[in-house]
Amino acid sequence: MNVPENLKYTHADEWLSIDGNIATLGVTDYAQDQLSDIVFVEITVEKGETVKKLAHVATIESVKAAADVNSPISGKITDINESLSNTPELVNNDPFGKAWMIKFEITDPAELTSLMDAKAYADYCSTRGH
């Protein structure tokens, strides 16, 4: 299982890359492995939209299950990865790179303190049998 050191993680298997006041959101290697073959990704927010922490922002469907992606922090959407609608398999092939889902401007930096670092996330995953 790949857990890049430079990212922050949630208990819902999402990752955030922080660059100044811009956060990039995606799902982790653990999540894509649990879902298996991804067949559909729908981003449910639009550029310019403001989302609150835990707002529904995407749906991922696989041959095994469907999963909702919720924003781990509040922010204003600055970009969405439109290529995922045509190539959902990117989530399986490159979950930390080309399969990023949303970029947004952070509106409440204090919310970042609830996220895990790579070691804490890896430890959390190990308690779930992976």
Confidence (pLDDT) at 1 = 80
What is the reported pLDDT for 109?
Answer: 95
46 located within any domain: yes
Quick: pLDDT tens for 53-105.
Answer: 999 999 999 998 999 999 999 999 999 999 999 999 999 999 999 999 999 99
CATH number for the domain that contains residue 53 = 2.40.50.100
Asked if residue 126 belongs to a domain, the reply is no
More confident residue, 2 or 61: 61
Is position 120 within any domain? Answer: no
Query: According to the model, what pLDDT value does residue 75 have?
Result: 97
User: Which 3 state secondary structure label does DSSP give 43?
Assistant: strand
Q: Which residues of 89-126 are buried (b: 16+ CB within 10 A; e: fewer)?
A: ebbbeebbeebbbbbbebeeeebeeebbebeebbebbe
Burial class (CB in 10 A: 0-12, 13-18, 19+), 1: exposed
List the strands of the sheet with 75-80, edge to edge.
Answer: 8-9, 14-19, 22-27, 102-106, 75-80, 50-51
Mean model confidence pLDDT for the chain: 95
Structure token pair of residue 59? 């749906």
Residues 21-48 have pLDDT tens digits of: 999 999 999 999 999 999 999 999 999 9
pLDDT at 17: 97
Domain contains 49: yes
pLDDT at 64: 87
Domain membership of residue 33 (yes or no) is yes
Q: How far apart are CA 27 and CA 92, in angstroms?
A: 10
- In the DSSP assignment, the letter for residue 76 is E
69 is a domain residue: yes
pTM for the predicted model, two decimal places: 0.92
* Residue 89 forms part of a structural domain: yes
Query: What is the count of structural domains for the chain?
Result: 1
Domain that holds residue 26: 8-109
Q: Does some domain include residue 119?
A: no
- Other C-beta atoms closer than 10 Å to the C-beta of 34 total 17
